[in-house]
């Protein structure tokens, strides 16, 4: 397996946050929702709103790990013709306006159909910084991980409250850039309160890796973001942003989504 010669944008982003004594905000959106043209505007607004990392979801017709909000976004994107190939084709233009690292978030089927080597090569050329394949386990990811590292792309994997210590070790060993901790069992979606499983999961993960720890699933308010950041290196917000795109983008445009990110970031104290 080839070794990266320089630090990745993800590594640099988390290093800079650490040096400033700050914690990160990771924002998810679905590419192609409400359209591929709008995605470029939304990415720029989210970046300017203060996202430290952006997870760009590549829509899939059967998003089993996602709750109804992101499922609906994926369905709209697929109906609109969004595909992995079209996302990678447009990503270089989107990337030009962004400072935040981009992690492609998708399922293994589109990647397998595209071809592992093709995916690694084209994702790297397009300006992606890594990928999170939500239904790919470390045991099945040896070839994928080798290809990605060969193209200087980080591989992010998931650990959950039900993961054993051995499992967390294995997931951490396969990860690069950061380790994604799922705050609760089940699918993505907004929640009223932060799960009590977050702290013990973070504490266990800390025993096995020095990678930055990002916590997502159910994080949707500034208060929940701060609570996660008090325990981990970053909070991930997805469904709340996708829900806002669904309900508020048609009237408010990309600016209203940028304002939401500022609110989550703590740059705007007014309720968004």
pLDDT tens digits for the chain (272 residues)? 445 557 899 999 999 999 999 999 999 999 999 999 999 999 999 999 999 999 999 998 887 767 889 999 999 999 999 999 999 999 999 999 999 999 999 999 999 999 999 999 999 999 999 999 999 999 999 999 999 999 999 999 999 999 999 999 999 999 999 999 998 654 444 445 566 889 999 999 999 999 999 999 889 999 999 999 999 999 999 999 999 999 999 999 999 999 999 999 998 755 54
Residues annotated catalytic, as ranges: 55, 66
Chain-centre distance of CA 7, in angstroms?
19
Among 136, 143, 132, residue whose Cα is nearest residue 58: 132
The DSSP output letter for 64 is: T
Task: Work out the burial of residue 161: count CB atoms within 10 Å of its CB; fewer than 13 is exposed, 13-18 middle, 19 or more buried.
Answer: middle
Asked if 43 contacts 97 with a C-beta cutoff of 8 angstroms, the reply is: yes
Architecture (CATH level 2) of domain 9-265: Alpha-Beta Barrel (3.20)
Under 8 Å between Cβ of 216 and 39: no
Tokens standing for residue 87:
């996302």
Q: Which two tokens stand for residue 225?
A: 């973001």
C-alpha 263/C-alpha 84 separation (Å) is: 31
Give the residue extent of every domain in the chain: 9-265
Residues in the chain: 272
Q: What is the DSSP string of 119-152?
A: HHHHHHHHT--EEEETT--GGG-HHHHHHHHHTT
Amino acid 64: pLDDT: 73
E-strand ranges in the chain read: 24-30, 53-57, 102-106, 130-133, 154-156, 158-159, 179-182, 213-216, 234-237
Query: Which residue from 182, 188, 218 is spatially nearest to 202, judged by alpha carbons?
Result: 182
- Residues 6 or more apart whose CB falls under 8 angstroms from that of 165 comprise 204, 207, 208
Angstrom distance (rounded) from CA 23 to CA 228: 9
- The gap from C-alpha 140 to its chain's centroid, in whole angstroms, comes to 21
pLDDT at 218: 84
Q: Are 177 and 54 in contact (CB under 8 A)?
A: no
Report yes or no: 130 and 177 within 8 Å, Cβ to Cβ.
Answer: yes
d(CA 55, CA 71): 16
Res 185: pLDDT: 52
Cα separation, 159 vs 171, whole angstroms? 7
């Amino acid at each position: 397996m080839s070794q990266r010669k320089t630090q990745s944008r993800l590594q640099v982003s988390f290093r800079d946050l650490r040096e400033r004594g700050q914690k990160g905000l990771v924002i998810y959106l679905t590419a192609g929702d409400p359209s591929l043209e709008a995605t470029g505007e939304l990415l720029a607004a989210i970046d300017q709103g203060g996202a430290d990392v952006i997870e760009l979801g590549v829509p899939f017709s059967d998003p089993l790990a996602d709750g109804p909000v992101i499922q609906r976004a994926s369905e709209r994107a697929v109906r609109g013709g969004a595909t992995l190939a079209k996302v990678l084709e447009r990503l270089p233009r989107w990337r030009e306006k962004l400072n935040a690292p981009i992690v492609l978030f998708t399922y293994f089927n589109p990647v397998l159909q595209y071809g592992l080597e093709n995916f690694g090569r084209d994702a790297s050329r397009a300006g992606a910084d890594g990928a999170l394949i939500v239904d790919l386990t470390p045991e099945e990811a040896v070839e994928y991980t080798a290809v990605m590292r060969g193209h200087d792309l980080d591989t992010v994997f998931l650990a959950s409250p039900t993961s054993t210590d051995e499992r967390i070790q294995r997931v951490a060993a396969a990860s690069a850039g950061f380790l994604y901790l799922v705050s609760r069992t089940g699918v993505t979606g907004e929640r009223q309160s932060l799960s009590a499983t977050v702290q013990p999961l973070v504490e266990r993960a800390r025993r096995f890796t020095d990678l930055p720890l990002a916590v997502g699933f159910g994080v949707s308010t500034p208060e929940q973001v701060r609570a996660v950041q008090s325990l981990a290196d970053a909070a991930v917000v997805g469904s709340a942003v996708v829900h806002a795109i669904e309900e508020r983008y048609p009237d408010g445009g990309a600016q209203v989504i940028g304002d939401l990110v500022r609110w989550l970031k703590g740059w705007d104290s007014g309720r968004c």
